[in-house]
Structure 1
Amino acid sequence: MPQLSRRAFGTLPIGLIGGSLFGGGLISSSSAHGATQEAASAPAAVTPLAQIRLGRFTVTALTDGYADMPYDYFPGRSAPEVEAAASAQFTARPSGVRFLFNQYLVEDGERRILIDAGAAGSIGQTGQLPQALAALGLKPAQIDAVIVTHMHQDHMGGLVLGGKNQYPEAELYIDRRDVTHWTDPAKRNGAPDFLQTSFRMAEEVVRLYPRLQAIDGEREIAPGVSTVDLTGHTPGHIGVRIEDGGKSLIMVSDMIFPVVHPAATDVFFLFEQDRTAAKAMRDRFFPRAASEGALIAATHMPFPGLGRVVSDRGQMRWEVADWALQD
C-alpha cells in the first residue's frame, strides 16, 4: 500500500474565520432580528457557506445538498447498531444516516479551484452547488480548475449535468487509477447496479472534458495546493492539501463517514471498493491526524465538514472545528 506522506498533515492549530450566507448576503447583527421575523412568517431558501483563511488562501465550504443513507449501507455493523449510534449522535433519520455533500472552493487571488462537483440531483436532495456558487457571485465558467477526489457520482455529477460540460474553462484533475477503473467496460459489466451511474458519468466526464488530466500519485496542482494519495475507497481516491503561511487543511473526501468514523476503521460504506485497503489507510491516517492536530475537511460530515480527529482515552472521535467569525 502507498504510504501517506507526512505533508498530508498540518502541524499547527489553525485559526478559523467564517460565516453563513443566506440568500447570497451576509446576515449582520443589525439585520438578524428582521431576518428572524421574516423566517418565522415564511420559509426561506438557505445557501450555507463557511469560509476559513489559510495564509493567502480563502477556502469556502459549499454544499450540493444531502441524502439519507440506509442503515444497512455500512458493512461491518448491523443496521440496528448503526441506527443506535446515529441516534446517540442525533443524526438519525427515519430513512437512514443524514449525509451532506460538501464541496470546497479554494481561492488565492489568481485561481479558483473547486474540489468535487456534487451529485447534481442524482442522489437525494442535491443539485444546490450552482446556487451556492451564485451566492458568491460566481458562475461555473469562472472556475479555473476542478479536482475530483474520486469518480463516484456524488463527486462528479455536477460536471456533466444535462450531458454538458458545466465547467468549460476548467482544467480537470483526476487520479489515473480512477479514470482507468471507471472507464473499463469489463469493470462496468461486472459491477452492481448501484455503481452503474458512476460508470456512465465517468464516460461522460472523459468525453466532455478534453482538458482532463489523469494524474499519477501525489502532485502539486498549484502552489500550495497538492493531492494526497488516500487509495482504498476507490482505486484512485485522493485528498487535497492546502497550505500557506504555516497553516494547512487536508480535504479527505470519503476517508471519513459520519457516525461510524473515526471511532471504528472496520466499518465501511456500501460503495467502498477495496475494504482491506480502505481500512489500512484509515488505520494509518486517523492516529497520525490525531497526533498532529490536522485540520480536516470531509465531504459527508455535517456542514461545513471541518474538524479534527482526536484521541480521547484511547478512542478516536471527530471534534468539530470552530469556524465562527473571528477577528
Structure 2
Amino acid sequence: MTQLSRRAFAGGLPLGLFGGGLLGSGLIGGGLLPLITGTPGLAASPAVANVTPLAQIKVGRFTVTALTDGYADMPYTYFPGRTAAQVEQAAVAQFVARPSGVRFLFNQFLIEDGDRKILLDTGPAGSIGQTGALPKALAAVGLRRDQIDAVIVTHMHQDHLGGLVVGGQANYPNADVFIDRRDIAYWTDPAKRSGAPDYLQPSFQMSAEVVRLYPRLQAIDGQREIARGISIVDLTGHTPGHIGVRIADSGQSLIMVSDMVFPVVHPGATDVGFLFEQDRLAAKTMRDRFFPLAASEGALIASTHMAFPGLGRIVSDRGQLGWQVADWALQT
C-alpha cells in the first residue's frame, strides 16, 4: 500500500466558535492522510464507478475518516435566491455542472478514538441519485455496520438518515443514535407531514421508521458532549434541530457543519438557500453569523455536500468569502 504522509494544518489559532458564544473555544490543526483506492476524483462515468475514496485526518487522539455514500445532481432550480441560469453559470465555473444540475456529494465521517466508533450521518442509501456506497466504504476500512457504536444524525432529511433503515430493518443494530429533540418532534408530527410537499415525504417516512426501529435513540437537548472530546453544536435553521459536531483533543479541533455549506452558492452568498430548508430566514441568519466567524478564526470544517472529502476552510479575500479545500498530499 502507498506510504502516506501527514501534512500539518495551521495550529495555535484562537477558536471562539465552540464555547459560550456561537460554538466554543479551542485550537485547530491536524494532519490529513489520504487513503484513496483506484482513480482519484469524482466517479463521473462507469469507468471509475468502483472507486472507494477514503481520507483520514488526525485530531488529537481521534482518527476521523471521510467516507461517501455517493452523489446526486441537484436541479439548478433548487436554490432559492438565485435563478437557475445564475446557479448553472456558477456551477460551470466551478466544474460541478452536470446536465441535470449541480453535482452534490454525500459525505459521512467516521470518528475513532481506539475505543468507540462513531458515525456522523448515514447517507441517502440509494434513495437519491447514485448512492448506497457507505457500507462498501466502511468495509474498505475493515468495518461492518454492526460494529458502529453510535450514529449522530445532524438532521432528519433523507440524505442524512436514509442509511439507518433499509428494507424495514435497523442497519446499525448496536448503535446508540443521537438526534436533536426539535428535529424528532418536527419530523414525527402528523400535521407537519400532511402539509408537507411531496419531496419531503421520504424524510417524514424515514424519520418515523428510525424512531420505531431504534429503541436506544437519544433525543439531544441543546449543546452537549456525546463522548469526551465529541460535542454537539446548535446550527438550527436548515431544519429546526439542525446540528453540527465538534471533535477536539490536544489543542486541535474539527467541526462537521452538515448542511450549513452547499457547493457553488456558499459561502459566498448567505442569502441563497436550498429547496429542502424548513426555515430559510433562520438558515440565512445562522450562515450570516457563522461564516465570517469561521473565516476570521481559520476553523477547519467538514461538510456533507462539498467535494470529497468535504474538508476545508471558509476564507475571506478582500471581504469576499470563499471555500478553501484542506491541503493534503501523498508522500513523494
Same fold (TM over 0.5): yes
**Residue identity opposite 2:328 in structure 1:** W
**Residue identity opposite 1:204 in structure 2:** E
Pick from 23, 26, 33 the counterpart of residue 8 of structure 1.
23
Matched, 1:188 2:203: no
More RCO (CA 8 Å, sep 6+)? 1
Matched, 1:236 2:251: no
Pick from 45, 63, 76 the counterpart of residue 81 of structure 2.
76
Pick from 308, 312, 318 the counterpart of residue 317 of structure 2.
312
Matched, 1:268 2:263: no
Quote how far apart the aligned CAs of 1:324 are: 2.6
Give a deviation string over 1:142-182, Cα, whole Å, max 9, x none: 00000000000000000001110010110000000000000
Q: CA contact under 8 A between 1:11 and 1:293: conserved in structure 2?
A: no
Describe the SS at the equivalent of 1:235: coil
Structure 2: gaps of 5 or more residues: 1-16, 41-46
Q: CA contact under 8 A between 2:28 and 2:254: conserved in structure 1?
A: no
**Residue identity opposite 1:153 in structure 2:** Q
Instruction: Name the counterpart of 2:175.
Output: 170
Q: CA contact under 8 A between 1:71 and 1:96: conserved in structure 2?
A: yes
Describe the SS at the equivalent of 1:261: coil
Q: CA contact under 8 A between 1:64 and 1:103: conserved in structure 2?
A: yes
**TM-score (norm: length of structure 2):** 0.90
Give a deviation string over 1:81-100, Cα, whole Å, max 9, x none: 00001111111111100000
Pick from 154, 163, 176 the counterpart of residue 149 of structure 1.
154
Q: CA contact under 8 A between 1:16 and 1:325: conserved in structure 2?
A: no
**Residue identity opposite 1:85 in structure 2:** A
Describe the SS at the equivalent of 2:161: helix
Instruction: Name the counterpart of 1:114.
Output: 119
Equivalenced residue count is 309
Q: CA contact under 8 A between 1:239 and 1:250: conserved in structure 2?
A: yes
Give a deviation string over 1:257-306, Cα, whole Å, max 9, x none: 00000000000000011011000000000010001100000000000000
Describe the SS at the equivalent of 1:17: strand
Quote how far apart the aligned CAs of 1:316 are: 0.4
Instruction: Name the counterpart of 2:37.
Output: 22
Describe the SS at the equivalent of 1:18: strand
Matched, 1:253 2:264: no
- Cα distance change, pair 45–198 in 1 and its aligned pair in 2 (3 A): same
Q: CA RMSD for the aligned pairs?
A: 1.9
Quote how far apart the aligned CAs of 1:130 are: 0.1
Structural mapping, 1:286-305, within 5 Å: 286-305=291-310
Residues of 1 paired with 2:330 and 2:26: CA distance?
Answer: 23
Give a deviation string over 1:186-242, Cα, whole Å, max 9, x none: 000000000000000000000000000011001100000001000000000000000
Q: CA contact under 8 A between 1:102 and 1:303: conserved in structure 2?
A: yes
Structural mapping, 1:119-138, within 5 Å: 119-138=124-143
Pick from 282, 289, 293 the counterpart of residue 284 of structure 1.
289
Residues of 2 paired with 1:130 and 1:160: CA distance?
Answer: 13
Among all aligned residue pairs of Structure 1 and Structure 2, give the percentage whose two residues are the same amino acid. Answer: 73
Describe the SS at the equivalent of 2:154: coil
Residues of 2 paired with 1:326 and 1:54: CA distance?
Answer: 20
Instruction: Name the counterpart of 2:213.
Output: 208
**Residue identity opposite 2:35 in structure 1:** S
Task: Please state which structure has a larger fraction of its residues in helix.
Answer: 1
- Cα distance change, pair 224–92 in 1 and its aligned pair in 2 (3 A): same
Residues of 2 paired with 1:242 and 1:163: CA distance?
Answer: 32
